[in-house]
Homo-oligomer: A and B are copies of this chain.
């Protein structure tokens, strides 16, 4: 314990060690921030910052007046980065390619309406496209766009410009929801992704809103072997 400055990360580490070592077991109450600040010889706000991080990470639970307790059932909280596909491909050293498959205006299936929080059926723009890595199919996306919220999309030449990238640059969202699941490739999907019908594929469904107005809902199906990793 040198008497130099301690960052809140150091303080977080100290407290984390108390938990790891069993000095404070799951369910135990930790001292008040102010007391910890005295013990560790730092400002209370530094302890507060450390505690907030431990709380965000699911290690402790904090309540006003109730104090801080070590969580009984730590929740694993994973953070995933979902970059735009072009960047993902290029970061892996691949050559990115994009291909428009279809563009229509139609009433989407119930599941899509539900995902976007729409109650009444209405026509939406549907864009199907394929992302390629080194010329090989990488991700097949089936996108529905609300043309009321994002009318500008209608002026874009989607055979040249990528719908996702256009939206991300011109229609920032305030809220989003992501869903992961596995599905068996049907004949069409298999053909487009150069897979075999029945192959298990990872599907990523993303829906974005500006406040309560849905912008787009897209289901991306990845080619066989695709994995998603949490940040370090």
- List chain A positions with a Cβ less than 8 A from chain B: 16, 19-20, 26, 58-59, 72-84, 87, 165, 168-169, 172, 174-184, 198-203, 206, 210, 225-230, 232
Does A82 contact B75, Cβ atoms closer than 8 Å? yes
Establish whether residues B79 and A172, one from each chain, have CB atoms under 8 Å apart when the complex forms. Answer: no
Are B230 and A202 in contact (CB-based, < 8 A)? Answer: no
Give 8 closest A-B pairs by Cβ, nearest first: A182-B182, A200-B200, A178-B230, A182-B200, A76-B82, A182-B202, A180-B228, A184-B200
Q: How many copies does the complex hold?
A: 2
Centre residue among A72, A73, A78 by max chain B CB count within 10 A: A78
B230–A177 contact, CB under 8 A?
yes
Residues of B within 8 A of A183 (CB): 182, 200
* Contact indicator A19/B73 (Cβ below 8 Å): no
State whether A228 and B198 are in contact (beta carbons under 8 Å apart), knowing that A16-B174, A74-B172 are contacts in the complex.
Answer: no
For residue A172, which residues in chain B have a CB less than 8 angstroms away from its CB? 19-20, 59, 74
Closest to A205 in B: B227
Q: Name which residue of chain B comes closest to A26, CB basis.
A: B169
Nearest chain B CB to A173 CB, angstrom units: 9
> Is the Cβ of B229 less than 8 Å from the Cβ of A179?
yes
Residues on the B chain within 8 Å of A177, using CB = 229-230, 232
